[in-house]
Amino acid sequence: MLKPITLGNLANHFSVDFEGDSNLSLTGLAPLDIAQKQQISFLVNPIYRQQALLSHAGVLILNQSDFTFVKESSEQTRSYLISPNPYALFARVGQYFEQIKRIPITAGIHPMADVHPSALIPQSCTIGPFCSIGAGVVLGENVHLISHVRLGNHVEIGSDTTIHPMTVVYDDCQIGKRCILHGGVVIGSDGFGFAPDFSLNGGEWVKIPQTGRVIIGNDVECGASMTVDRGAMADTMIGDGCKFDNQVQIGHNVKVGAHTVMAGCSGIAGSTEVGSLCVIGGYTNFSGHLKIADRTTVSGGTSITKSIKEPGGHYTSVFPFTSHSQWEKNAAIIRGIDKLRQQIKDLTKKVK
């Protein structure tokens, strides 16, 4: 069972202001509508202020403005953690509780793991059952391979990285420190490179050898079933602090800048460079050989087919959904735009 911690200790640990009972014991976090006296919830968007007033949460994480409103408007006696970034504090508090309740992992190599004699594995590492580690692999301290993980030859994994089951890291790839690779991730598979040759016998697609690597920085998280292709000749590069949702596809020779985030089912075609601190919505796709500026935001479902040079922009190409009958009418209008354009040009000439 999770050992309770007090509000005062929590506020001191994160160096944030609080108001209320410093000795209040807390057991975890919960949404506003179901949180109870010994749980913490948070308020970020002012539209949920009324829900916060009605919440039974023992502690609310909020900013100074929301704190003033809730305290003056609420008849309940409760405690508060006050932060300029309540959402980030909520995430860190959640991590804190997760660490406390986590079952300790015993270091060592499971007898059913297959480890090449030349691999360098510190005693602090955990190698679970049915893991396979190739020749020349180098692991940092406190690396955890949960089970059924394959590391190819000469792979390097930084300290405090955790790799979940059914993940494969191909030969020569590098993963940084404090990374998390969820189940089914594939790092370093061949990029999609084929040269057309239709000169003889009906033609064929000639495979281009993919001889580069994948280099992943520190503090990167890869969601389940994410794939990152190795470079054709140069390396595919993922910067520090990037976070990827499930089923993201990164093509060969792509470069992703530090602290960029991508939601599920997004894809980047080969040789595109995405800047730092970009926010990419789900089901977004990028054509190949583009350059995307830093701090670019892309709405979900958008297709990016040209480079973006100005940093800080927000781009959307998704047409809002509507009823099918209305969509058919709009589609008919769109199909006739070229004809309408020509009519306008002809009328312009007549007016002149």
| pLDDT one-digit tens code per residue, 107-123 | 999 999 999 999 999 99
Instruction: Give SS3 for 115.
Output: strand
Per-residue pLDDT, averaged over 28-39, amounts to: 93
Cα–Cα distance measured from residue 337 to residue 15, given in angstroms and rounded to the nearest whole number: 60
> Looking up tokens 């508060």, which residue turns up?
80
CB 307 within 8 A of CB 288: no
- Closest CA relative to residue 134, chosen from 119, 113, 112, 149: 119
Q: Kindly state the percentage of the chain with pLDDT values over 70.
A: 99
Which of 14-28, 94-108, 290-304 has the lowest average pLDDT?
Answer: 94-108
Question: Average per-residue pLDDT in the chain?
Answer: 93
pLDDT computed for residue 1 by the predictor = 46
Catalytic residue among 110, 252, 289, 324: 252
pLDDT of res. 98: 86
What pLDDT is stored for residue 2 in this prediction? 52
- Where is mean pLDDT largest: 69-83, 93-107, 290-304? 290-304
Is 182 an annotated catalytic residue? no
Q: In the predicted model, what is the mean pLDDT of residues 57-81? A: 90
> What is the predicted pLDDT for the residue at 19?
92
pLDDT at residue 171 above 90? yes
Q: What is the reported pLDDT for 139? A: 98
pLDDT at res. 269: 97
| CB crowding 154-163: b at 16 or more within 10 Å, else e | bbbbbbbbbb
Candidates 186, 190, 163; CA nearest to 248 is 186
What's the rounded mean pLDDT across residues 245-261? 98
The CA distance from 114 to 124, in Å, is: 18
Q: What's the pLDDT at 335?
A: 86
Q: Tell me, what's the pLDDT at 8?
A: 92
The CA-based diameter of the chain, rounded to the nearest angstrom, is 87
Mean pLDDT of 313-339: 88
Averaged pLDDT, 141-154 = 97
Q: Are strands 25-26 and 5-6 parallel, antiparallel or unpaired?
A: antiparallel
Give me the pLDDT at residue 167, please: 98
| 263-316 tens-digit pLDDT | 999 999 999 999 999 999 999 999 999 999 999 999 999 999 999 999 999 999
What average pLDDT score do residues 160-181 get?
98
CB 137 within 8 A of CB 119: yes
Q: How much is the average pLDDT of 36-51?
A: 92
Query: Where do we find the tokens 């007549």?
Result: 350
